[in-house]
Structure 1
Amino acid sequence: MRLGKQTSPAAELERFLNYIDACRQEYAYAYGMVGEEDRKLQDLLHEMEFAKDRAERNRVATKLQQSRRSRRKNKDIVLMDERIVNFFNEPKNRDTLNRMRQLLGQRRKEEEYLTNERTYIPRAGR
């Protein structure tokens, strides 16, 4: 028996699957951004090396600081999502996730049938 606001099993399953998908997308984006910031680092170091004066060096140093902070933020996201993403990338767990998606579709159909108005059509002649 559920207390309080009731949610359907399909809604809970969908929420879980959406969470896994969000982790995967967030991980892929953050992983790409870490690589981008790594490439940007070399450009900024060369810019600093060839800066004409202190003002330009300071401007580049500020960019470098912002780049490192952005990289750290994205790297933290990667570390936070990495175990979940790797877990569901294993073949047996990926299969389980796919079966859960199929289960969600079946469960939605069942819930739709159970919540719609049912009618009885007599089988015997009148």
Structure 2
Amino acid sequence: SCEMGWEEIPLGLPEMSLQAKCFPPDFEKETCLGVLSRGLFVYSTFLKYLKETLFASEPHESNYYWKAIEILAGNLKSLMKNPETVEFVAPDLEALLAEQSSSTPTLIRHVIFKRCMLFLDATVRAYIYIKSS
């Protein structure tokens, strides 16, 4: 049985917060685009890791999504006035995931996909707001 909920697994995955400044009343286009692109780069790294490790011998959604998310991150970054401000350092995923030895690979995979989908949903809403403002 699982001792903790999926929300409690500390993988350091990006989440949309008020500091992203993607929605009124504190909307800031440059800050928002930076947060979105940085977060998407992190998720593409996690999904690529899943593809290369947990799914190395079987086709799965991560085979397709990691590259598409990386491209989306680059596209959002290119909309910035100062794209060089987006700093992204790929996390040491092997060390991070090794710390989660009490969690099964299936649970870790679920957490990464679930949080990625939540972040993508917030990204879509933010992008629509950016384009309409």
If the TM-score is normalised by the length of the shorter chain, which range does it land in?
A: 0.3 to 0.5
Bigger Cα Rg: 1
Whose helix proportion is higher, 1 or 2?
A: 1
Q: TM-score, normalised by structure 1?
A: 0.37
Q: TM-score, normalised by structure 2?
A: 0.36
